[in-house]
Amino acid sequence: MNGIHDVGGMDGFGKVVTGEDEVLFHEDWERRAFGLLNGALGQGFFNLDEMRHGIERMNPADYLTSGYYGHWTATLAKLLVEKGMIDESELDRRTQAYQKESNKEIPRRENPELVEHMKQVVKFGASTVREISAQPKFGIGSRVKTINHNPSGHTRLPRYARGKYGIINAVYDAHVFPDAHAHGKGESPEYLYSVRLTADELWGVNGQEAVYIDLWESYLIPVNE
């Protein structure tokens, strides 16, 4: 979908500021947000693509001012309500109770199996590779054009790269298709490609610079030379 989250190719946001010894968490609540979201994902309450789409649906002003883990907290609350894990009134009640007693100890629940599972996911990742019977439509060196679509739902095709010409740089395995997975339509795996798009094609900038974007097969149209 088109939204404030899709800032690729945009300017006016200033430099990305990082420190020499950048910490993983600047405040304790960020550490807690990390654990809560990953715990929810690990238990299958929702999938990663649903999580990303939840962030995309944030109020633009909230998105720009809440920071990385603020995005995580917002989408966690939204999805737990949408999935029927908690209702809006209960979420509001608990939020207000925490605001009144922010130092109150939060109940703990031990789940060693989930902890071990999440350790493996954090360390090695959770593969989205899937086996499919079809063969890739494109090979290395194939010239392609990205589709120009503006869906209301989730997509991993950046706005700045739509309707652009590029060259297939690498052919990957088939992966879960986010556009379907984010909306309860199954995994619908497709082949994934690394596509080389020149800066001139993207922004009209002369030079040798290029951007390599991983794009799913249905984003691409063959171009006959």
pLDDT confidence band for 53 (50 / 70 / 90): very high
pLDDT digits (tens, 9 = 90+) for 125-152: 889 999 999 999 999 999 999 999 999 9
Question: Could you give phi then psi for residue 221, rounded to 5 degrees?
Answer: -120, 130
**Which residues have C-beta within 8 Å of that of residue 196, sequence separation ≥ 6?**
166, 167, 168, 169, 210, 211, 212
Number of C-beta neighbours around residue 194 at 10 A = 16
Tell me, what's the pLDDT at 70? 96
pLDDT confidence band for 55 (50 / 70 / 90): very high
Mean of pLDDT values over 176-195 = 98
Mean of pLDDT values over 153-159 = 96
Q: Across the chain, what does the average pLDDT equal?
A: 93
Tell me, what's the pLDDT at 16? 81
Provide the CATH topology of domain 130-222: SH3 type barrels. (2.30.30)
Tell me, what's the pLDDT at 225? 63
Domain assignments of the chain as residue spans, ordered by start = 28-124, 130-222
Residue 80, both tokens:
């737990």
Query: pLDDT at residue 124 above 90?
Result: no
Mean of pLDDT values over 198-210 = 89
Three-class secondary structure assignment of 171-202: EEEEECCHHHHCCCCCCCCEEEEEEEEEHHHH
- Vertex 181: Cα angle to 10 and 55 (nearest 5): 40
Which range has highest mean pLDDT (1-15, 84-98, 157-171)?
Answer: 157-171
pLDDT: is 133 or 21 the higher one? Answer: 133
Tell me, what's the pLDDT at 121? 86
- Return the H-helix or E-strand segment holding 169: strand 165-175
In the chain, pLDDT over 70 holds for what percent of residues? Answer: 100
Q: What burial letters (b/e) apply to 111-126, b meaning 16+ CB within 10 Å?
A: eeeeeebbeeeeeeee
For the domain with range 28-124, which CATH number is right: 1.10.472.20, 2.40.10.10, 3.40.50.300, 1.10.3720.10?
Answer: 1.10.472.20
Beta strands in 48-164 (DSSP E): 129-130, 143-146
